[in-house]
């Protein structure tokens, strides 16, 4: 008896098919409109009413196919908010928007970017990685990434660049969770070619530290540790706690107990027991282990108040 073959969670060719359908429908309408204009210009005066009816029909069809695109554009910000809030309605709303056609190329790619965000938040990393890769294949056609001039905020090129960077960051984290270290390396190289803003630099630093720990490059993880700690201080609390915890794990493996203990104490102050779930949600399992491992005195030390009140006094920073 043959077992039924399970369908993949996401078909990587799906995006290309839908982009082709969108372009075909819109192109057909444009060609029809051009033909109607030519017919109208060449028509005899007595055929005027028929020509005008033909032009009105073309305009009506064009407005009909532009309607879904305008509606989806208005839906994208609420969908993004629903995904960030973890609402169950995000999936059905996004699926309904994706089914609409025809859509402009940038809008179609923006919807699949949101689908990658949703799958990533659901920790369906295999599907998230496939969607990110499929959209990234189409992103260079959305905006020219090889241009040496910086893109201006608010332009379509700037939006496309920010979307590409976010997709690359999610792809790194998904591949880390799947154990695809070679794929992580290739994606990190691509990320280093982009001009990142502060938040993106924070995310890249945390993901690269996790990659170095996964590969066993603990000495590299501790390079410029003073700068990394200062960057972690301005990170969101869960990400900063994860960064401190990963550096503590690297220091422990590099036989630097004083530095490891100092980093664990800072981690315990930055991340409470309730916030450990936030770290796990960010996809840093090694950081969660580091928080609960080792010396527990830091979490019960009544003198622990401010990380700045705890200067590191032992050994070398290994810079």
The pLDDT tens digits along the chain (319 residues) read 444 444 457 888 899 999 999 889 888 877 877 777 777 667 666 555 666 776 777 777 777 777 888 899 999 999 999 998 889 999 999 999 999 988 999 999 999 999 999 999 888 999 999 999 999 998 765 444 444 455 555 566 778 888 999 999 999 999 999 999 999 999 999 999 999 998 899 899 999 999 999 999 999 999 999 999 999 988 888 888 889 988 998 999 999 999 999 998 888 888 776 555 445 444 443 322 333 333 333 333 333 333 333 444 344 444 3
Q: Is the same domain home to 62 and 126?
A: yes
Q: Is the same domain home to 209 and 172?
A: no
Give the rounded distance of the alpha carbon of 249 from its chain centre: 26
3-state secondary structure of 255: coil
Give residue 36's domain range: 9-143+155-180
Q: Is the same domain home to 283 and 219?
A: yes
Q: Is the same domain home to 228 and 159?
A: no
pLDDT of residue 137: 92
Using a 10 angstrom Cβ sphere, with 0-12 exposed, 13-18 middle and 19 or more buried, the burial of residue 130 is buried
Q: Is the same domain home to 162 and 227?
A: no
Pick the closest to residue 102 from 12, 17, 19, 15 (CA basis): 19
Q: Is the same domain home to 168 and 45?
A: yes
Calpha distance 167→184 (Å, rounded): 13
pLDDT of residue 270: 80
Q: Is the same domain home to 26 and 175?
A: yes
Does 189 reside within a domain?
no
pLDDT of residue 29: 78
Q: Is the same domain home to 59 and 165?
A: yes
Q: Is the same domain home to 228 and 259?
A: yes
Does 305 reside within a domain?
yes
Q: Is the same domain home to 13 and 111?
A: yes
Q: Is the pTM of this model over 0.85?
A: no
Helix residue spans in 100-224 (DSSP H): 105-121, 125-142, 156-178, 181-191, 198-215, 218-221
> Which residues, other chains included, contact 173 with Cβ-Cβ below 8 Å and sequence gap of 6+?
120, 125, 207, 283
Q: Is the same domain home to 64 and 175?
A: yes
Does 190 reside within a domain?
no
Q: Is the same domain home to 53 and 17?
A: yes
Number of domains in the chain: 2
């Amino acid at each position: 008896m043959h077992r039924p073959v399970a369908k993949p969670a996401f078909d990587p060719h799906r995006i290309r098919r839908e982009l082709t359908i969108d372009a075909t429908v819109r192109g057909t309408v444009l060609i029809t409109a051009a033909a109607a204009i030519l017919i109208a210009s060449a028509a005899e005066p007595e055929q005027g009413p028929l020509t005008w009816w033909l032009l009105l029909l073309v305009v009506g069809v064009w407005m009909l196919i532009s309607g879904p695109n305008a509606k989806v554009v208005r839906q994208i910000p609420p969908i993004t908010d629903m995904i960030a809030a973890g609402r169950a309605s995000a999936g059905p709303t996004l699926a309904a928007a994706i089914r609409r056609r025809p859509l402009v190329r940038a809008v179609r790619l923006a919807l699949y970017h949101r689908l990658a965000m949703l799958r990533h938040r659901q920790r369906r990393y295999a599907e998230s990685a496939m969607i990110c890769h499929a959209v990234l294949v189409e992103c260079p056609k959305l905006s020219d990434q090889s241009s040496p001039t910086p893109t201006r905020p608010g332009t379509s090129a700037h939006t496309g660049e920010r979307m590409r960077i976010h997709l690359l960051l999610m792809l790194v984290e998904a591949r880390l969770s799947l154990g695809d270290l070679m794929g992580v390396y290739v994606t990190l190289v691509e990320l280093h070619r982009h001009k990142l803003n502060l938040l993106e630099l924070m995310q890249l630093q945390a993901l690269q530290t996790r990659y170095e720990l996964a590969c066993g490059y603990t000495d590299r993880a501790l390079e410029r540790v003073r700068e990394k700690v200062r960057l972690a201080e301005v990170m969101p609390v869960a990400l900063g706690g994860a960064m401190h915890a990963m550096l503590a794990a690297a220091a422990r493996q590099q036989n630097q107990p004083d530095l490891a203990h100092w980093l664990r104490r800072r981690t315990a102050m930055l991340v409470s027991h309730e916030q450990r779930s936030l770290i796990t949600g960010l996809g840093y399992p090694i950081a969660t282990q580091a928080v609960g491992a080792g010396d527990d005195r830091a979490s019960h030390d009544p003198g622990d108040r401010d990380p700045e009140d705890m200067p590191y006094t032992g050994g070398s920073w290994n810079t």
